[in-house]
Amino acid sequence: MQTLTVGLEERSYPIHIGTGLLANEELLSAYLPGKRAAIVTNITVAPLYLARLRETLHKLGVQSVEIILQDGEVYKTTETLQLIYDALLTHRCERSTPLIALGGGVIGDMTGFAAASYLRGVPFIQIPTTLLSQVDSSVGGKTGINHPLGKNMIGAFYQPQLVLADISTLNTLPDTELSAGLAEVIKYGLIRDLPFLEWLELNMDKLLARDIEALQYAVLRSCQNKAEVVARDERESGERALLNLGHTFGHAIESGMGYGNWLHGEAVAAGTMMAADLSQRLGWISEQDVDRIRNLFVRARLPVIAPDLGVEKYLNYMGHDKKVEGGKLRFVLLKSMGEAELVSNVPSELLLQTLEACVVQGKHE
């Protein structure tokens, strides 16, 4: 097992990365001082991992209140959040009762927001079980739900007290979800860690074959990158925005196609190709660089061509992105390989060229 710390002074917390962590009483004991904890999970993850976690809690003398939600991005809504509050109130969970998120990013984001808001804040533990949630969403304290007008539009910054990334849980993850997680892993290489990008190019086949050592290294290195950025800019007043490479386009794809039809990581991959195209049009990276990025996504079995929503829909959905400031669209673009920049003055003709060039040519209203 390897351990990192997210350095946020009195709100600092450890990320433990390894195998068999769900059954490790020692790691959890300090965070479960009371007699109860509420586990929030979903109908897919519960049959796989809930019993193991419940048993670990029982060994510590902790009873679990179990909240099992529907599975999917379409359920990341106020209605589902209400179900969490209903269960917490029905079971009379108190301000000291920790909420444990057991699942992927959807469960983690919703549980985190419930923890931030229930009784004005209760302790929160992340046990991410997808690659995407282990390398990204469980770390850094962004929590929230979707609104029909935009993804993750309602939420709060609320840090967990502990993150347990149990790599063994990745064995049951569908291939498409593994690839979706790899999109965020590749992102770290592109925006700030060129040696890691090179490592990914060498080790992509091992990652796809779920080699435990390779996966653990990829999770560790990703979390190191994320922890460094979050420690410097927790509330995204600057550097943290760079973690959103490909996300302005990606959110438009996710929203425009209907939540859940494109996985978040898939939308990020196609969105990153659009960001790379725009970076190249600005003369920052070369055509060879764009090809290099495309090759890596293709090897990770990710889409590199975006759906044709039509230029207007793209602009409309991007207008709802959280990176809009003063009515101006802002994009994370690649200054060079391994270096990103937040840009707000992209010439509109270049943006239109990218929107035309990077989508599947097809029908749209």
Task: Give contact residues for ligand GLY (rule: CB under 6 A).
Answer: 136, 140, 142, 240, 243-244
**Closest separation in Å from C-beta 270 to ligand NAD:** 15
Residue 48 binding result from ligand NAD, ligand GLY, none, given CB thresholds of 5 to 8 Å by partner type:
ligand NAD
**Closest separation in Å from C-beta 170 to ligand NAD:** 6
DSSP assigned state of 74: G
Residue 225 binding result from ligand NAD, ligand GLY, none, given CB thresholds of 5 to 8 Å by partner type:
none
**Closest separation in Å from C-beta 350 to ligand NAD:** 27
Sort strands 13-18 and 162-166 into parallel, antiparallel or unpaired: parallel
Closest to 222 in 3D by CA, of 101, 130, 117, 116: 130
Residue 68 binding result from ligand GLY, ligand NAD, none, given CB thresholds of 5 to 8 Å by partner type:
none
DSSP assigned state of 157: E
**Residue 130 has which token pair?**
């997808």
By beta-carbon proximity to ligand GLY, the closer residue of 240 and 281 is 240
By beta-carbon proximity to ligand GLY, the closer residue of 64 and 272 is 272
By beta-carbon proximity to ligand GLY, the closer residue of 76 and 142 is 142
Find out whether 25 and 60 touch, Cβ atoms under 8 Å: yes
**Closest separation in Å from C-beta 137 to ligand GLY:** 7
Residue 240 binding result from ligand NAD, ligand GLY, none, given CB thresholds of 5 to 8 Å by partner type:
ligand GLY
Residue 244 binding result from ligand GLY, ligand NAD, none, given CB thresholds of 5 to 8 Å by partner type:
ligand GLY
**Closest separation in Å from C-beta 143 to ligand GLY:** 10
> Cβ atoms within 10 A of the Cβ of 34, count?
13
DSSP assigned state of 23: G
By beta-carbon proximity to ligand GLY, the closer residue of 8 and 305 is 8
Catalytic positions: 120, 142, 184, 226, 236, 240, 244, 247, 251, 264
**Closest separation in Å from C-beta 363 to ligand GLY:** 33
| Non-local CB neighbours of 316 within 8 Å, separated by 6+ positions | none
By beta-carbon proximity to ligand GLY, the closer residue of 62 and 139 is 139
Note the residues at the interface with ligand NAD (CB under 6 A).
Answer: 42, 44-45, 48, 71, 73, 76, 103-107, 109, 129-130, 132-133, 136-137, 140, 142, 152, 169, 172-173, 177, 180, 264-265
Report which secondary-structure segment, H or E, holds 144: strand 142-147
For ligand GLY, the nearest residue by Cβ is: 243
By beta-carbon proximity to ligand GLY, the closer residue of 243 and 318 is 243
Find out whether 308 and 360 touch, Cβ atoms under 8 Å: yes
Find out whether 329 and 248 touch, Cβ atoms under 8 Å: yes
Closest to 41 in 3D by CA, of 111, 136, 125: 111
Phi and psi torsions of 320, nearest 5°: -95, 0
Distances (CA, A) of 240 to 75, 180, 226, 235: 27, 21, 9, 8
Sort strands 36-42 and 99-103 into parallel, antiparallel or unpaired: parallel
Cα 360 from chain centre: 26
